[in-house]
Amino acid sequence: MAENKTKPTPEDVNGFIAAVPDAARRTDAERLAALFARVTGEPATMWGGSIIGYGRYRYRYDSGREGESCRVGFSPRKAECVLYVGAGRPEQADNLARLGKHRLGKGCLYLKRVTDADLPALEAIVATAYSAKAEGEVEG
């Protein structure tokens, strides 16, 4: 069975954010880091080479695949910020409707500009995702 490539690393989160080449995307990453830390109460950890994650959980799927992942996180990509917040879940619908311009992927929320988002809605999205049980989550 293939090993999960996205694991916690010792890389410095602040150094990673400071190295984001685009100034607007770097500012978005700084804002998201503060928001995620405030909402989750967790320290930021780098997961793989580009995901800033908060909290963690263990999962095991029916297929037997198991591993560990961050509860919530984000990645400041070149074109937009990707938020790993279980965005496709029904309990996120009301907050997504208030959020402003965005697009969705499977569980991911894509924002071109964090400054254009409704911050109370974004905080609620992160809080809901952080407290929700993840797919395949197991104790311990």
CA distances for 5 relative to 39, 49, 132, angstroms: 27, 10, 24
119-131 and 23-40 are packed helices; what angle lies between their axes, rounded to 10 degrees? 50
Q: What is the pLDDT of residues 41-97, one digit of tens each?
A: 999 999 999 999 999 988 887 888 788 889 999 999 999 999 999 887 888 999 999
Looking at residue 136, what is its pLDDT? 65
Give the pTM.
0.91
Across the beta sheet with 66-69, the strand order is: 66-69, 57-60, 137-138
Domains of the chain from N-terminus onward? 22-134 (3.90.1150)
Spell out a b/e string for 66-82, using b for 16 or more CB atoms within 10 Å of the CB, else e: ebebbbbbbbbeeebbb
Rounded distance, CA 34 to CA 28, Å? 10
SS3 116: helix
More confident residue, 132 or 103: 103
